[in-house]
Structures are given as structure tokens and as C-alpha cells.
Amino acid sequence: MVTLLEKPASFPGGLHLPPEKSQSLTEPLQSAAIPPRLTVPLSQNIGEAAEAVVKPGDTVLRGQLIARSLGYISAPVHAPTSGTVSAIGDYPVPHPSGLSAPCIVIDSDGEDRAADTGLKMDNVYQEDPADIRQRVRDAGIVGLGGAGFPTAVKLNPGPGRVVDLLVINAAECEPYISCDEALMCCRPNDVVEGIRIMRHALHAKQVVIGIEDNMPNAIDCLQNELTRLGETHIQIKVIPARYPAGGEKQLIYALTGEEVPSQGLPIDIGVVCHNVGTAAAIARAIHHGEPLISRIVTVTGAGVNQPRNLEVRIGTPIAALIEQCGGYTDEVARLLVGGPMMGFALRTDQLPIIKTSNCVLAASAQEAPEPPPPHPCIRCAQCVDVCPASLLPQQLYWYAFARDMEKIQDYNLFDCIECGCCAQVCPSHIPLVQYYRFAKTEIWDMEREREKSDLARLRHEARQERLEREKKALEERRARARKSLDKKPKAGNADAKKAEIEAALARVKAKKSEQADVMPLNTENLTSEQHTKIEQIERRRTGKTDGA
């Protein structure tokens, strides 16, 4: 049974980083213009990709299902606006690899007509949690904090599990990103309604909103809304601002003093954590019948003229957002999606916003400087001091550097949340997180290869067995045939053999005559045409003989 601490605990490690959020919060939240063309990827979440249910040429309405989910850990995709499906194929998506992925391209008709989605629930608090989960799944809602885990799965604690505490993550600890703060200030009602629905679906005993102390406006807006609605079951806990307080495990530790077990999930200690944006999306789906077709994106950095938060339709090209924010400044050096710590650089701005794109950072050279070349590790252990997961980044680095994939797992590589605190403080400027990411994907790839080779070995062995079986069966048949031959009369008995041969011949004749009775020879029953043809050919033949 977890209990909320009166005074938040201090999670280990972490860094104080300049928030850099005020520049994107001066302008009010605005809706982004709907672009003429939207590129909607089929995979915008952790888990399996969705499968298209429309084809090029189809007309779609806003909110209409365009791709259905496959498998349990999967989410459907909906049309962000009304228009026509112009193509389905591989298009560039925001991903560190720069590779393309299957997308549905929609040309908007400018009318933004809505479909009847059937997602609305009139009496959600009387509904069964399983039905609520199904609606959340059908609405395509995934975790909007950045990871994109299908929310319906995280609303299912599992059989026999009790949810002691529902934590709403409003911490937003990464510099530059302010989309959650904008959401809480502009739409506190959606946030609170969404939290109430989640509380009911999970039968959570306690509910708390964890928020950093550097967003007083948001705290006030939420508190006012809770008071206005007379909501007594949801409380707000303010925690000191420190990166990465918004990490799920770090936030849970700060609020409860309990650690989520290594490679485990928060539900293992009776806690479920959802992002505040996810809560708002649930409210829009259940109370307004709107699937996840838009999200708030922070467009910021010294490289853009008017940094602000925008409500963006999924599939909008990033270039369109930059334009709406006054275009690039002369200082722009790099374009990142995500924040400065956990985001990744983009090669082009012709990429779509997807469900997990929380921020577009057009950074200047000062905001994102070229890193100095790395020097050797001096074993200073500053990385160990700042790791919020209490890992040993130094050891992880050495084993990743040596490509020793077995020993690196002994140091709990998969508990690393890739927050970047270690790389930030390293005096030798070693790109530590790059090494951990390399090791993780390498290990996953090795596991996949091992599974494939195990399967190939089984198939090969099965084939060897089959060939053995077939060989044995053939030998047995031959042995039996030989035996039955031996039983028959010997070769010396010529008469008996002759009799056998004659009997066989008689059988064949009988069969032939039977067939002959049944089917006419092809020289009988000719038509008059065929007769004429035969005569002509005969005449030609004999005529030739005469002539030659």
C-alpha cells in the first residue's frame, strides 16, 4: 500500500537546468492552420503499427477511422480533418534513423467536417471499466508525455491488481517544452474531467497531480478548477523543479518514497502514472466523441521568430508550424523534435507532427552548440552522482565501448531512461547516451537473431527427421514387396507363371473392351462436316500422288 508523502522525497541525482519556457508562454495558445496535405503515419506508438482501412481516392471526415489497431499493444489512427486520401505508402517520418515508414496522406478539403465517431459516453461513471478502456482504445489515445504507450493498456491494472495511487504527471521537467503548462492553463476542465474518468476506470484509491514548483499559473488554474467542481478526491502535490522529475519512476519516488522495481512497472507497487495531456485527450474522447487527432506542440528556440504553443492536427508538416511562428531567424542552427535533453535532430522540416511530438526546437548555435571532440574517460564519477536511476553510467560506458553486451546488462542497462544527465556533466564530453542507445538496440537485435536461428535449427532438424522417416517407410515398403514375392510360386514353375501372364492379359483385354463399349473410337460417329473434310484431304493426298 503506497502512501503519499507530506513533503515530497528527493530522487537521487538529477540536474538543475534553466527552464527556458517563458519565451513560448508569452503568446496565448493558438490553433495551427490546417495544412493542404497531412501525412499520418500508421505507427505512432510503442507496439504494433495500425493497418489502413481506407484506400487512395476515399473521402474521409474528421475523426473517421483510417487505420485499425492490430494486436493488444496497438492503437488505431483517425483522420485529422476531412478530405480525400491521396496516397498510402512510405514517407519520411520524424525518427532518428531518417528512414521512411508507411503513412496515409490526406488532402484536406478545407471544410473540416466531423464524422460521427460513436465514442461519446453519456454516463461514463456508470459504465464498466472494460467498456471505458475499449472506448479509449477506439479513440486511438496513446501516452502524450512522449513515449506513446497505448493508454488503454495502461488503464488495465491486470486481474487481481489494485491501484492504490493514480499519479498524473504534470511535471514537464525538460527545458523549452511548455505544452503541458499551456494545456493546464487553457483547458483545466478537460484535464480534471479526464482524471476523473481515469480514476473511475482504475478504481484508484488515491489520485494526485504531481507538478513542478516553477509553473505557478498552471497550479492556480488547476486548483481553481478543482475547487469550482467541488472535487475532493484529487489533490495537487508540488515538487521542487529538477530534471528529470517528470520521469515516471522519479516522480513516483518523489511523491511516495517508493521505488519501482528494476525492469518492473509502477503497477508492481500499485501505482499507475499518466500524463496530464493524456487525461485531457480522454475527456475529449469520452465527453465530446473526439478521437486523438490533434495535440499541443511547443514551437520554440532562438531559431524561430515567435515561439509559442500551437494546437496542431496530427500529420501537419513541421515546416507549416515554423511558418505560423514567423519563420526561421538568422540564428537557426539545428532543428530538434523533442527537448534538448531527450530529443533528436531532424534532417529536414518536411516531416509530419505525430502523436508523440511534444516540441519542435529550432535551436541556435548557442542553444545547441557543436560538441567538442570526446576525450578519454578519467573516471571522475560525476556521471554516477547525477544519474536519477541510481545506475553506474561509467561502467555502462566502458562495456558499451568494448561492445560487451553481456556484462553491460549486469549493470542494469535497461533501467536507463536516457535522460542525458550523465552526458551533460561529463568533463570529457563523451556522448554517453549514444553508447547506451547503441547497446540497447544491439542487444534487442541479437535477441531477434537468436530467436530466428533457433527456429531455423528446429526446422532443419524437423526436415532431417522427415527425410529419415520417408527413407525408412520406403525401405519397409520394399522389404514387404520382396517378402510377398518370396511367398509367390517359384520361377521354376513355368506353367503357373504362364497361367498368371495369360490371366493378366485377359484382365487387360476385358478392361479395354469395357472402355470400348463405353466410349466410341474417334473414327466412328463422324459428322457430315468431318466426312467432307476427310474426303477433301484424301483427294488432295491421292491427287498429289497422282501428280508426283
Partner 1 sequence: MLTAMIAIGLLAALFGLLLGYSSIRFRVDANPIVDQIDALLPQTQCGQCTFPGCRPYAEAIAAGEADINQCPPGGETTIQALADLLGIDPKPLNAEHGEHTEKKVAVIDEQTCIGCTLCIQACPVDAILGAAKQMHTIIAAECTGCELCLPPCPVDCIAMVPVKKDIRQWKWPYPESDQPEIAGIASRVASS
For residue 338, state whether it binds partner 1 (rule: CB under 8 A): yes
Q: Residue 226 or residue 419: which is nearer to partner 1 going by CB?
A: 419
Using CA atoms, how far apart are residues 318 and 360, in angstroms rounded to an integer?
A: 8
Residue 460 makes contact with partner 1 by CB under 8 A: yes
Place of cell 554516477: 384
- Determine the interface stretch with partner 1 among 140-148, 211-219, 322-330, 338-346 (rule: CB under 8 A): 338-346
Q: Which is nearer to partner 1, 99 or 518 (CB)?
A: 99
According to CB under 8 A, which one of 203, 228, 233, 457 is a site residue for partner 1?
Answer: 457
C-alpha distances (whole Å) from 56 to each of 101, 105, 240, 348 are 17, 9, 51, 26
- Least Å from the CB of residue 137 to partner 1: 21
Rounded CA separation 68/226 (Å)? 36
The yes or no reply on residue 96 touching partner 1 (CB under 8 A) is yes
438 binding partner 1? (CB under 8 A): yes
The yes or no reply on residue 474 touching partner 1 (CB under 8 A) is no
From 142-150, 314-322, 454-462, 537-545, give the range in contact with partner 1 by CB under 8 A.
454-462
Q: How far is the CB of 327 from partner 1 (least distance, A)?
A: 23
Residues 350-389 that bind partner 1 (CB under 8 A): 363, 368-374
Helix, strand, coil percentages, rounded to 5, for the chain: 40, 20, 40
CA–CA gap between residue 253 and residue 389 (Å, rounded): 11
Q: E-strand spans in 140-281?
A: 165-170, 206-212, 234-239, 271-275
Taking the complex as a whole, the smallest distance from the CB of residue 519 to partner 1 amounts, in Å, to 26
Distance CA 3, CA 5 (A): 6
User: Which DSSP helix (H) or strand (E) runs through 85?
Assistant: strand 83-92
CA distances to 84, 405, 449 from 409, rounded to whole Å, are: 49, 7, 18
CB of 108 vs partner 1, minimal distance in Å: 26
Residue with grid cell 536516457, as numbered in its chain: 418
Q: Is 414 in the site for partner 1 (CB under 8 A)?
A: no
Interaction of residue 471 with partner 1, rule CB under 8 A:
no
The single residue among 72, 125, 344, 414 that binds partner 1, judged by CB under 8 A, is: 344
56-60 long-range Cβ contacts below 8 angstroms, 24+ apart: 56/85, 56/86, 56/87, 56/88, 57/84, 57/85, 58/84, 58/85, 59/83, 59/84, 59/85, 60/84, 60/85, 60/106, 60/115
Compose the 22-61 pattern: x for residues touching partner 1 by CB under 8 A, - for all others. Answer: ---------------------x-----x------------
Residues in contact with partner 1 by CB under 8 A are 43, 49, 93, 95-101, 336, 338-345, 363, 368-374, 403, 419-421, 423-426, 429, 431-435, 437-438, 440-442, 445-446, 448-449, 452-457, 459-460, 462-463, 466
